[in-house]
Amino acid sequence: MPNKNSAKKALRQDQKRAARNLIVKNAYKSAVKTAKKAIETGKAAGEEIKAAQKTLAKAAKKGVIKKNTASRKLSRLAKLANKSTE
């Protein structure tokens, strides 16, 4: 446990930020899972991929994940979708 007031405040801030980041992280992970499931079942996955793209972009903008990580995940998702339509 921190002793100084500034350290106590920093700990409170870190806990709030971690909770906020976890919400964003769970949102993009579930969106990607939904899109993958839609691709595997053969449904028109355009809307799910769009939603995954939106949540990945938001996560990257907020700094939860890096921009290139979001791009890589989206690219792999699109590649999977293209492979399934062939």
Q: What are the pLDDT digits (tens) for 27-63? A: 999 999 999 999 988 777 788 999 999 999 999 999 9
Q: Per the structure block, which two tokens stand in for 33? A: 């899972």
Nearest in space to 28 (alpha carbons), one of 72, 78, 73, 67: 73
The whole model's pTM is what? Answer: 0.84
pLDDT digits (tens, 9 = 90+) for 64-85: 999 999 999 999 999 998 887 7
Phi-psi region of 65 (alpha: psi -120 to 50; beta: other; left: phi over 0): beta
Domains and CATH numbers, the chain: 5-85 (1.20.58.110)
